Amino acid sequence: MQTNLPNVFAAGDVASFPVALLGGKKGTIRHWQIAQAHGRIAALNMLKQQEALNTVPFFWTSLLGKSIRYTGCGEGYTDTVLRGDLDQRKFLLFYIREEYVAAVASLNMDPLVSMIAESMYAGKRISKAEALAMPLDYQPPA
């Protein structure tokens, strides 16, 4: 989070940073979850405890009783895989880049996007074939 000026750090909407999900390419992600992660990393780096940003972007909201979630970084996607039913307003949309899932958007498919974010954070790459075969009725153990 260090800028090109000595002892000057930036975080949040004004900061571009190496995005792990883009192979370290610099990008800007304007979401409070990322800004929080930036703040932590900037503070550690100010204290000379060098640490890289390791997070998976995750956005969620609820509008008109509908749950919307998004995880990953879809920049540069070349294909999509739609699972679920648009008419029923219950679906997952996988953004595919180089035959792997780069990001996922959903409407009313909790907790699948959260589980995919956890997989991405653990470094697992989900192939297009795996996205096509993913069970949509999965529920984690209680």
pLDDT computed for residue 38 by the predictor? 81
Query: CA-to-CA distance for 72 and 97, rounded, in angstroms?
Result: 11
pLDDT computed for residue 140 by the predictor? 60
pTM of the model: 0.82
Q: What angle do CA 30, 31, 32 make, to 5 degrees?
A: 130
pLDDT computed for residue 24 by the predictor? 78
Burial of residue 108 (CB within 10 Å: 0-12, 13-18, 19+) is: middle
Which domains, and CATH codes, for the chain?
Answer: 1-55 (no CATH), 58-133 (3.30.390.30)
pLDDT computed for residue 9 by the predictor? 85
* CB distance 41 to 51 below 8 Å: yes
Residues of the chain with pLDDT under 70: 138-142
Query: CA-to-CA distance for 22 and 26, rounded, in angstroms?
Result: 8
Maximal C-alpha separation, the chain:
54
pLDDT computed for residue 12 by the predictor? 79
What tokens appear for 95 in the block? 């953004």
pLDDT computed for residue 78 by the predictor? 96
